[in-house]
Structure 1
Amino acid sequence: MANIAAQRIQREFKEVIKSEEVAKCAIKVELVNDSFTELKGEIAGPPDTPYEGGNFVLEIKVPETYPFNPPKVRFITKIWHPNISSVTGAICLDILKDQWAAAMTLRTVLLSLQALLSAAEPDDPQDAVVAKQYKEQPDMFRQTAKHWTSVYAGGPAKMPELDDKIRRLTDMGVEEHNARVALSSYNWDLERATEQLFS
C-alpha cells in the first residue's frame, strides 16, 4: 500500500477509536488481518428508524490512491433499504462515488452511512424493489426493514406473523433467506411469493 494512504488510514483509525460516537457504541472500526487496506466497520441502527437496535457490519477496502479516491464500502449484514442492495450489500451514496473529497475520513463515511439509514433517498435507489415498496407502501416497508434488522442485525423486534409466513415456505423446501426475499419483495403476500418461487 502506498505510504501516504497507510499513514492517513492509521491516523483516521485512531480518530474513530477516540471519537465520542465510539464511546456511545454508534460506530466502530477494526483491522482485518492487521492491514490498513481492509477494515471492518460497524454502525448502530439510528433511533426512531426501523434499523434501531440493529448492528450493521461493513466491509471497507481502502485503495492505494486513498485519500484521493473513496474507500470501497459494502454492507455485510443484510439490510432492507432503498439505497443498499438487499443482495450484494452495495451502497448508493454520493460521497462513495463522485462526491468524495480528500478531506473526508473513515469517521465521515461511517456517520454518513448511519445518516443514510435515517434518511433514505428512494429517487436514487440501489435496490429498485425496496425503493418501490418504500414509496408506495411505507408501512409495509417499515415492517419489512424491522424484520430484516431483527433477523440479520440482532434487532429487538419479533414478528411472529411474518416468521409464520417464512416457516410456511421453508416447510415447502424453500431456503429461509430466499423465502424472506420473496415475501419481502411481494409485500408479504404468501400466494404471490410462492408463485414467484415455484414458477
Structure 2
Amino acid sequence: MDARLRRVNKEIADCKNDRTSNIRIELVDNSPFHLKGSFPGPEETPYEGGNFDVDIVIPPSYPFQPVKMKFITKVYHPNVSSASGAICLDILKDAWSPVLTLKSTMISLQSLLCSPEPNDPQDAEVAKHYMTSKTSFEDTARYWTEIYAGGPGSRAAKVASPGARDEVAIAGLDPQHVTRFENLGFPRNKVIDALRRLNYRGGNVSKITEDRVVEELLKP
C-alpha cells in the first residue's frame, strides 16, 4: 500500500471514529481518491440546520499538494461560486500544508460559512449583496439553505418542481421591485436577471435610476 493510500485511509477512519466533529467522509464509486464529505451548517448562521456536501479529489502528490474541494450543495456565500460550487479558501491553494487533513480542511470550510470574506470573493455578485445589505444577504442565504440543504422548513423535496421555488427570493431581491418592472412589460425572468446584475438591493436602489434598469433590460 503506497503512502498516499495509507494516509487517506487513516484520515477517513479518523473521521468515522470522531463522534464530535460531525464531519462525514465516504467513497465515491469505491475510490479512496474521490470522496464525498459532509458537515452540518454552523449554528447561529444562515446555514444552521442545513447539511452541506462537498466533492473531494485527492491529487497524486497528496499530502504535499492540496486536496481539490468544491461544494455539491448549492450555497449562497461570497467565497463559494453559486454556479459551480468552487471555493475561495487559502488552504486549498498556496496556504496548504501537509499537516492539514481531510477533517481539518472540512472544519475550515465549515468555519468559512461563519466568517465570509467579501473582499476576496469567489462570487462577486454575492459579495456585493453581502456588502450592500447584510440582512438581505442573510435572508437569501437562509432561503438557499432551506431549499438546497434541507434546512428548517425545508422544501428540498419539492425543489425539482420549478413552481416550488421562489426565484425572487433565490436572487435576494424585493418582490415589489420585480413587480414594478414586470408591470412595464418585461418578462419576470429577465427582470430578475437584470436586477441581480445591478445589485438592486438595499441602499443601492436609490442610486440606480429607472432608466438605468430599463437600459439593462433592453440589452439583448
Q: Is there any run of 5+ residues in structure 1 with no aligned partner, and where?
A: 160-166
Kept in 2, the 8 Å contact 1:44–1:53? The answer is yes
Match of 2:171 among 170, 184, 190: 184
Runs of 4+ in 1 over 6 A off after TM superposition: none
Match of 1:116 among 106, 112, 117: 112
Q: Aligned partners of 1:9 and 1:77: how far apart in 2?
A: 23
- Confirm whether residue 70 of structure 1 aligns to residue 69 of structure 2: no
AA of the residue aligned to 1:184: A
Counterpart for residue 50 of structure 1: 46
Counterpart for residue 163 of structure 1: none
Structure with greater contact order relative to length (CA < 8 Å, sep ≥ 6): 1
> How many percent of aligned residue pairs carry the same amino acid?
41
Report the secondary structure of 2:20's partner residue.
helix
Deviations 1:118-143 (A, max 9, x none): 11111110001111111110010000
Deviation at 1:157, TM superposition (A): 4.2
Kept in 1, the 8 Å contact 2:66–2:96? The answer is yes
Q: Aligned partners of 2:138 and 2:172: how far apart in 1?
A: 13
Report the secondary structure of 1:111's partner residue.
helix
Kept in 2, the 8 Å contact 1:46–1:118? The answer is yes
Report the secondary structure of 2:11's partner residue.
helix
Deviations 1:158-187 (A, max 9, x none): 69xxxxxxx9xx67xxx958x358x51545
**Structure 2 counterparts to residues 1-199 of structure 1, below 5 A:** 3-22=2-21, 26-157=22-153, 179=167, 184=171, 186=173, 189-191=177-179, 194-195=190-191, 196=193
Judged with a 3 Å threshold, the aligned counterparts in structure 2 of structure 1 residues 187 and 64 are, in CA distance, closer, same or farther, namely: farther
AA of the residue aligned to 1:190: V
Q: Aligned partners of 1:93 and 1:49: how far apart in 2?
A: 19
What is the aligned-residue RMSD (CA, Å)? 2.6
TM-score by length of 2: 0.74
Counterpart for residue 212 of structure 2: none
Q: Aligned partners of 2:114 and 2:36: how far apart in 1?
A: 21
Deviation at 1:21, TM superposition (A): 3.0
TM-score by length of 1: 0.82
Q: Aligned partners of 1:185 and 1:150: how far apart in 2?
A: 14
Deviation at 1:66, TM superposition (A): 0.4
Which has more radius of gyration? 2
After the TM superposition, which of the residue ranges 32-41 and 51-60 deviates more from structure 2? 32-41
Judged with a 3 Å threshold, the aligned counterparts in structure 2 of structure 1 residues 88 and 144 are, in CA distance, closer, same or farther, namely: same
Q: Is there any run of 5+ residues in structure 2 with no aligned partner, and where?
A: 156-160, 182-188, 195-216
Q: Aligned partners of 1:17 and 1:158: how far apart in 2?
A: 27
Q: How many residues align?
A: 181
AA of the residue aligned to 1:144: T
